[in-house]
Amino acid sequence: METLEIERLRLRPWRVEDAPFHRRLWAERDPRVPAHRRLTPDGHPTVTELEDWVRRDEHLPTPGLLVVERTDTDEAIGYCGLVPNSVGRPEEPELAYEFLQRSWHHGYATEAAGAVVAQARRIGYGHLASTVREWNTASLRVLEKLGFVDTGEREEDAVHGASLLLRTTL
């Protein structure tokens, strides 16, 4: 697995010892996120379950999801990468990212996602997709900066907010 390094950030493969960090991300998720993407009342996923996820992860589509670290501190602050498309176009990977709240508003998501988009272009992908809840204005701004456009396709959800499909051509 390749590591991507840009000025302030390093994007690297997950390690088993990243599981506690990964669980912190789950714990910080907005309550509007669907329940299956948040910690359950009885504490799942556990650190052990997230360790198992790291061991099983196949890093597909390439480069998969990568841990984002600050290069000046080596602190893990989020993840960014490509996941299988959730909207029916398997040849078009989906860009995904998430950062600890204390790392918001520093440009890290835009920088990390930009590095992943550049890597996807080098790999030879023609398009990328991303799905975002309409209330997540910060993520919508990141995607706009990277050239993603709203396709007008949306999945309505009265409880969690509509999910918007954005796409970019590489």
CATH number at residue 12: 3.40.630.30
Whether residue 23 has pLDDT greater than 90: yes
- With cut-offs at 50, 70 and 90, classify the pLDDT of residue 59: confident
Q: Has residue 79 been placed in a domain?
A: yes
Whether residue 88 has pLDDT greater than 80: no
Instruction: Please give the DSSP secondary-structure letter assigned to residue 103.
Output: G
CA-to-CA distance for 138 and 17, rounded, in angstroms?
A: 29
- Per the structure, the count of domains in the chain is 1
Q: Has residue 154 been placed in a domain?
A: no
CA-to-CA distance for 9 and 144, rounded, in angstroms?
A: 21
pLDDT of residue 144: 98
